Amino acid sequence: MLDIKFVRENPDIVKENIKKKFQDGKLPLVDEAIELDAQFRAVKSEADTLRAARNKISKQIGALMAQGKKEEAQAVKQEVSNYSARLAELEALEPELEEKLKKVMMVIPNIIDPSVPVGKDDSENVEVTKYGEPVVPDFEIPYHSDIMERFNGIDLDSARRVAGNGFYYLMGDIARLHSAVISYARDFMIDRGFTYCVPPFMIRSDVVTGVMSFAEMDAMMYKIEGEDLYLIGTSEHSMIGKYIDTIVQEDTLPHTLTSYSPCFRKEKGAHGIEERGVYRIHQFEKQEMIVVCKPEDSMMWFEKLWQNTVDLFRSLDIPVRTLECCSGDLADLKVKSFDVEAWSPRQKKYFEVGSCSNLGDAQARRLKIRVNGKDGKYFAHTLNNTVVAPPRMLIAFLENNLNADGSVNVPEALRPYMGGKEKLVPVK
């Protein structure tokens, strides 16, 4: 959420930013916000003036009564009553206008970084760098769920009977591989100086609306019926929520946390044939990283965060590339975002396995995460990035480490988490 003062003083910049995001339907919101802000400030100013006047003349009543000037005292009482009646109207109007303004401001997108390429959608995202050599072997690579079935490692039919489509059972070596990847990612981030955390897997609505846009919320979140609780779609939400309505001491920054959690997502809409199996699902597990820092450090941390994901995938012999998200592909709260994509030798193309985002002070402003600095208080900057989400990561891992005989190599970095195994051998 932008600072209303910034919107008031820079309406053309805000409108140009909306155009860059190809959301022209939101252009009238800028003028609406400015008008609501003017009304709110006028009401607040009048209310403050009336309070001061009422308090001043109220003090006269006792003095007039003591002097026996009952009629004058009565007249002053009437004046106080008139002030109070108008003040009651204004005090009812004040929160109403404030709430209307907040709703409009929550929909106006954040100002994107000048370096972000302008484009309508993800088809116009820009490749930044490739890491590792993409290889297409001279043998056929089966679909990932078929590879898993050779190890008796997946049971989709039972999952459908138990929970419906979009769920799965992982079994045996594949289940162990899933847990190994999570454990390795946890230790990888701890070794890079991040504090490990297991957060709440449910959050309240004020946290939800603080960390994401309404459109994202509707598309992603599962609500707990009858309670003000939502299942998290990513641990970033509860991790940033940890700081809601707090004042952080500047000399303690940055706060760097890595968190494990299950994640739950609606995943609305139809998806293509390449997204069956465990590619797009309602439940998965993930290792995440977040940073809360000073504004001047956020771009430095942005570079570090996506590089962590690249380094982790390369340590497991998986080629990756980074893509910069164009303006039209950025969620409304984001200032800048990179996707990390892993190579799929079966599809002969890259696919998304993680996303790194700098949200500037948007989340901090919504959640009231402030920093107490030497020159006063200010809003922190927040960033997040996927370390690894094993269901998708497993696809990349199995395809890139598959041998012609159906066995799967276990990279050296992962062997301590797999009981020392150097290779997984299929049972079918």
Indicate which CATH number applies to the domain containing 85.
1.10.287.40
What confidence score (pLDDT) does residue 76 get?
66
For the ranges 41-55, 234-248, 252-266, 300-314, which has the lowest average pLDDT?
41-55
What confidence score (pLDDT) does residue 294 get?
98
In the listed set 107, 134, 161, which residue is the last one of a domain according to the structure?
107
Q: Give the SS3 label for residue 85.
A: helix
Q: Does residue 340 belong to any structural domain of this protein? A: yes
Mean pLDDT (whole number) for 75-79: 71
Q: Does residue 96 belong to any structural domain of this protein? A: yes
Looking at the fold, whether 225 and 274 belong to one and the same domain comes out as yes
404-411 — which CB contacts under 8 Å span 24+ positions? Answer: 404/137, 404/139, 406/147, 406/150, 408/147, 409/317, 411/315, 411/316, 411/317
Mean pLDDT (whole number) for 184-188: 98
Looking at the fold, whether 283 and 361 belong to one and the same domain comes out as yes
- Give the confidence band of 123 by pLDDT, cuts at 50, 70, 90: very high
- Give the confidence band of 87 by pLDDT, cuts at 50, 70, 90: confident
Looking at the fold, whether 296 and 347 belong to one and the same domain comes out as yes
Say whether pLDDT at 84 is over 90: no
Measure Cα distances from 313 to 93, 120, 249 in Å.
55, 29, 35
Cβ contacts of 41 within 8 Å, gap of 6 or more: none
Looking at the fold, whether 192 and 85 belong to one and the same domain comes out as no
Q: Does residue 363 belong to any structural domain of this protein? A: yes
Q: Does residue 114 belong to any structural domain of this protein? A: no
Q: Does residue 212 belong to any structural domain of this protein? A: yes
Say whether pLDDT at 60 is over 80: no
Q: 409 near 131, Cβ under 8 Å?
A: no
- Give the confidence band of 85 by pLDDT, cuts at 50, 70, 90: confident
Looking at the fold, whether 179 and 205 belong to one and the same domain comes out as yes
In the listed set 75, 107, 139, which residue is the last one of a domain according to the structure?
107
Rounded distance between C-alpha atoms, residue 423 and residue 420, angstroms:
9
Looking at the fold, whether 49 and 192 belong to one and the same domain comes out as no
Q: How many Cα atoms are found within 13 Å in the side-chain-facing hemisphere of 30?
A: 22
**265 is written with which tokens?**
């997502």
Q: Give the SS3 label for residue 388.
A: strand
Dump pLDDT digits (tens) for 396-422. 999 999 999 999 999 999 999 999 999
What confidence score (pLDDT) does residue 66 get?
63
What confidence score (pLDDT) does residue 391 get?
86
Q: Does residue 115 belong to any structural domain of this protein? A: no
Dump pLDDT digits (tens) for 363-380. 999 999 999 999 999 999
Q: Does residue 400 belong to any structural domain of this protein? A: yes
Looking at the fold, whether 353 and 246 belong to one and the same domain comes out as yes
Helix ranges, 195-289 (H) = 205-211, 214-220, 235-241
Measure Cα distances from 28 to 15, 18, 177, 330, 334 in Å.
9, 10, 51, 20, 21
In the listed set 46, 80, 107, which residue is the last one of a domain according to the structure?
107
Looking at the fold, whether 35 and 138 belong to one and the same domain comes out as no
For the ranges 68-72, 109-113, 243-247, 339-343, which has the lowest average pLDDT?
68-72
What confidence score (pLDDT) does residue 40 get?
96
Looking at the fold, whether 84 and 126 belong to one and the same domain comes out as no
Q: Does residue 209 belong to any structural domain of this protein? A: yes
Measure Cα distances from 312 to 129, 292, 305 in Å.
16, 22, 11
What confidence score (pLDDT) does residue 73 get?
64
Share of the chain above pLDDT 70, in %: 94
What confidence score (pLDDT) does residue 34 get?
98
Looking at the fold, whether 85 and 217 belong to one and the same domain comes out as no
Rounded distance between C-alpha atoms, residue 413 and residue 408, angstroms:
15
Q: 256 near 189, Cβ under 8 Å?
A: no
Rounded distance between C-alpha atoms, residue 43 and residue 38, angstroms:
9
Mean pLDDT (whole number) for 27-37: 98
Say whether pLDDT at 63 is over 90: no
Rounded distance between C-alpha atoms, residue 411 and residue 295, angstroms:
38
Exposure string (b/e) for 338-362, b if CB count within 10 Å is 16 or more?
bbbbbbbbbeeebbebbbbbbbbbb
Share of the chain above pLDDT 90, in %: 82
Burial of 183 (0-12, 13-18, 19+ CB in 10 A): middle
Q: Count CB atoms within 10 A of the CB of residue 37.
A: 19
For the ranges 135-139, 209-213, 311-315, which has the lowest average pLDDT?
209-213
What confidence score (pLDDT) does residue 52 get?
80
Dump pLDDT digits (tens) for 4-25. 999 999 999 999 999 999 999 9
Q: 410 near 422, Cβ under 8 Å?
A: yes
Mean pLDDT (whole number) for 297-311: 98
- Give the confidence band of 120 by pLDDT, cuts at 50, 70, 90: very high
Q: 321 near 128, Cβ under 8 Å?
A: yes
Q: Count CB atoms within 10 A of the CB of residue 329.
A: 22
What confidence score (pLDDT) does residue 268 get?
64
Q: Give the closest residue to 213 by CA, choosing from 12, 13, 8, 21.
A: 21
Looking at the fold, whether 195 and 86 belong to one and the same domain comes out as no
Query: For all residues of the chain together, what is the average pLDDT?
Result: 93
DSSP code, position 224: P
Q: Domain tally for the chain?
A: 2
Looking at the fold, whether 371 and 234 belong to one and the same domain comes out as yes
Q: Give the closest residue to 225 by CA, choosing from 200, 202, 199, 201.
A: 202
CATH number of the CATH domain containing 383:
3.30.930.10
Say whether pLDDT at 269 is over 60: no
Domain range for 413 is 122-424
